[in-house]
Amino acid sequence: MPDREVYPNAPLVLVAAEVRHSVAETLTGPAQAALKRALAKYMPLSNPATRTNVTAMAGGPTQMTTSTSPRFTSRDRTTSVTFHSEALVLETTRYGRFERLLDLLTLALDARMEVGPLDGLERVGLRYIDEIRVPEAAEEPAAWAAWVDASLLGPAPVVSPLGLRAVQWQGLAVFASGLANPAGETAPAAQGVTGNDGADSLVLRYGPAVGYAVDPGGELKRSAPPPGPFFLLDIDSFWTPGEQVPPLDRDELLTCVQRLHVPVRTLFESLISERLREEVLRHV
C-alpha cells in the first residue's frame, strides 16, 4: 500500500523486526568487521549489546553470566541492528514508512547470511508500539472514548451506572491467522517460508497509562514529550513454524515480513477515532 497515509504526528515510538533462527556460531572478528562494512552507510557506529543470562543449576544456586552481541547504530542513534547468536533484531524510533524498514532489514539480513550460515528459521516478528497522547489530558480512563474504539475501553462503560469508575486497566488479545482480510476474503494458509504447518499470529496489548511505554533514556533516542497520560497500543505480528524448523530462505522470509505488516496497519486504523486523526495525527 504505497499510497497509504503517513501521519505527520504519528504516535509510533518504537518498531522492531526480529528474525529468530537456530543458534549460530559466535561471530569472529573478521565476520563482525564485514558486517560493519556492509552496514556503514546507514548504521556505521559500533555499540555492542550486553545481556545477562540466568541459568538454574540442578541442586544448586542460579548462575548469572553475561554475553555480548555485535550491534550497529545510525549516527542519530534512532536505529540499530543487533546480531545475537539466535536472532537478528532491527529496531527504530524513526520509522517513516514500512518500505524503509524493509530495506534496512534486507540489508542486515544479506550481510548476516554473507558472513555465516543460518540453519533454520524459528520466528519472524514485527512489533509496533504506539503512545497515543491527546491535547485534552485524558486522566480518567473513560475520557479515551473520544479517541479510541469502544472495544478498548474495557468494563468502564458498564460499571459507571453503578457509581464506580475505572481508574486503570490493561488489555491483552491474541489473534490467529485465517480471519477475513481487508478485501473481505479469507486469508489463505501461510505459504513459502512458513509452510502449510506454520501460523501467523497477532498479539494486541492496550490500555491507558502514564509516563512512557518506551524509556527515553534507553539505547535509542526518541521524542520525549512531558510524561503525562497516554493510551498504549502495542501490536506484535509474528509467524512461528509447525513441528519442523524450516531452512531460512531469504526471499520467502522477506515476503513473510510484508505479509505480517498488513494486519498491523489495518488493526491500528480500526482502533482509532476520526477525531484522533483530524485533531492530533494530521497536525505537526
Edge to edge, the sheet with strand 199-210 lists 45-46, 71-73, 79-83, 87-92, 12-21, 121-132, 229-240, 199-210, 171-176
- Domain membership of residue 230 (yes or no) is yes
pLDDT in tens, 247-273: 999 999 999 999 999 999 999 999 999
pLDDT in tens, 77-131: 999 999 999 999 999 999 989 999 999 999 999 999 999 989 999 999 999 999 9
- Domain membership of residue 59 (yes or no) is no
- Domain membership of residue 97 (yes or no) is yes
Q: Are 226 and 133 in contact (CB under 8 A)?
A: no
Distance CA 183, CA 192 (A): 22
Distance CA 141, CA 250 (A): 44
- Domain membership of residue 25 (yes or no) is yes
DSSP the chain: -TTS---TT--EEEEEEEEEES--PPPPHHHHHHHHHHHTTT--EE--EEEEEEEEPTTS-EEEEEEEE-EEE-TTSSEEEEE-SSEEEEEES----HHHHHHHHHHHHHHHHHHS----EEEEEEEEEEEE--SS---SGGGGGGTB-GGGSTTHHHHGGGT-------EEEEEES-SB-TTSSBPPPP-GGG-TT-EEEEEEEEEEEES-SS-TTSSS------S-EEEEEEEEEEEE--SS-----HHHHHHHHHHHHHHHHHHHHHHB-HHHIIIIIT--
- Domain membership of residue 192 (yes or no) is yes
- Domain membership of residue 255 (yes or no) is yes
pLDDT in tens, 1-16: 557 888 999 999 999 9
- Domain membership of residue 3 (yes or no) is no
Q: What is the structure's pLDDT at 29?
A: 95
State yes or no: pLDDT of 74 exceeds 80.
yes
pTM: 0.88
pLDDT in tens, 186-231: 444 444 444 446 799 999 999 999 999 999 999 999 988 888 899 9
Q: What is the tally of structural domains in the chain?
A: 1
Name residues whose C-beta falls within 8 Å of residue 235's C-beta, 6 or more positions apart in sequence. Answer: 127, 128, 129, 130, 202, 203, 204, 264, 267, 268
Residue closest to 137 by CA, chosen among 210, 233, 45, 240: 210
State yes or no: pLDDT of 57 exceeds 70.
no
pLDDT in tens, 11-33: 999 999 999 999 999 999 999 99
- Domain membership of residue 58 (yes or no) is no
Distance CA 240, CA 23 (A): 16
For residue 100, the enclosing domain spans 12-52+66-281
Distance CA 220, CA 240 (A): 28
